Amino acid sequence: EPEVTQTPSHQVTQMGQEVILRCVPISNHLYFYWYRQILGQKVEFLVSFYNNEISEKSEIFDDQFSVERPDGSNFTLKIRSTKLEDSAMYFCASSPTGRYQPQHFGDGTRLSIL
Amino acid sequence: SQQGEEDPQALSIQEGENATMNCSYKTSINNLQWYRQNSGRGLVHLILIRSNEREKHSGRLRVTLDTSKKSSSLLITASRAADTASYFCATDASNAGNMLTFGGGTRLMVKP
C-alpha cells in the first residue's frame, strides 16, 4: 500500500537555525498537509496545500514557516530561525482530493531544538 | 474554538471485550474522522463519517455521530491485544483547506 514518507526521522538543530523537513506524499494525491504534535499535547494543524498554493493555514503557521512543492514528488516545511518551542513531532499528510477524504499520515519527523 | 475532546482519556480492558470511546466537539462539521496512533508512529485513518450520516461500520469498528449533541463514539468489538494504541477523533469544519482539529485522544490498552 502506498505510504507517505518523511525524512529525517529525527532532526536536532540549534536554536536560531533554519530547518527543512521533507515529505513524499502518495503519488496520485492532490492535497498535502503539515501537522505538529508537541510532546503530551494534541495534534495541531499547520497548513494545507493544493494546486501549488496554500489553501488554509492556522495561527501557528506564521512568517517563520513556509511550505513548498519543489518538484513533482516532494513537499517541504521550512522553519526559519527555530525556537525552543518549535520542538515537536511534525507530521506530513496527503489526501486524494479534499473534503470527505481520509488523510494519510507519515510517521513524522521528531524535531529537537537545542 | 472548535475542539474534539475524547473520553475516557485512558481505557484498559481484557482481550475479547468491547471498547467504547467518545468524542465531543463544539461547532458544525463537514465530517468527523477517527484515527489510531501506535507509539512512535504516524496516525492511521480508521473511519470517516459525514455530517449527514448517523452510523458507519468497518470490520470490528462501529462509529456513531449525533450532530444534535455534537458527539461521536467509536466502538471496537472483540478487542485484541494488537488494538492497543491511542485513538483520536478529528473534525473537519473547514471551508476550503480540509483542516482537521484533533482531540486529545484515548489511550487504549488491551490486555491478553
B30 torsion bin: left (phi>0), alpha (psi -120 to 50), beta (else): alpha
User: In this model, does residue B47 exceed pLDDT 50?
Assistant: yes
Comparing C-alpha atoms, which of B35, B5, B88, B97 is closest to residue A61? B97
Averaged confidence pLDDT in chain A: 94
Mutate to test the interface with A, among B25, B28, B32, B43 (most CBs of A within 10 A): B43
* Dihedral pair phi/psi, residue A75, rounded to 5°: -140, 120
| Predicted local distance difference test score (pLDDT) of residue B3 | 55
For residue range B65-103, list pLDDT tens digits in order. 999 999 999 999 999 999 999 999 999 987 777 899 999
* pLDDT average, residue stretch A77-93: 96
Contacts of B98 in chain A (CB under 8 A): 31, 33, 48, 55-56, 95, 98-99, 101, 103
User: In this model, does residue B1 exceed pLDDT 50?
Assistant: no
d(C-alpha A26, C-alpha A34), whole Å: 14
Interface residue B93 vs chain A (CB under 8 A): no
Across the interface, do B42 and A107 touch by the CB < 8 Å criterion? Answer: yes
Q: Is the dihedral of CA B9, A40, B91, B5 positive or negative?
A: positive
Q: Which residue of A has its CA nearest to B47?
A: A102
Report the Cα B25 to chain-centroid distance in Å: 12
Name which of A47, A57, A103 is nearest B45 (Cβ-Cβ).
Answer: A103
What amino acid is encoded at B93 in this protein?
A
| Predicted local distance difference test score (pLDDT) of residue B4 | 65
pLDDT above 90: percentage of residues in chain A: 86
Q: Look at the block and give the residue holding cell 475524547.
A: B6
Q: How far off is chain B from A28, nearest CA to CA, in Å?
A: 17
Q: Look at the block and give the residue holding cell 489553501.
A: A55
Output the furthest CA–CA distance in chain A (Å, rounded). 40
| Predicted local distance difference test score (pLDDT) of residue B64 | 98
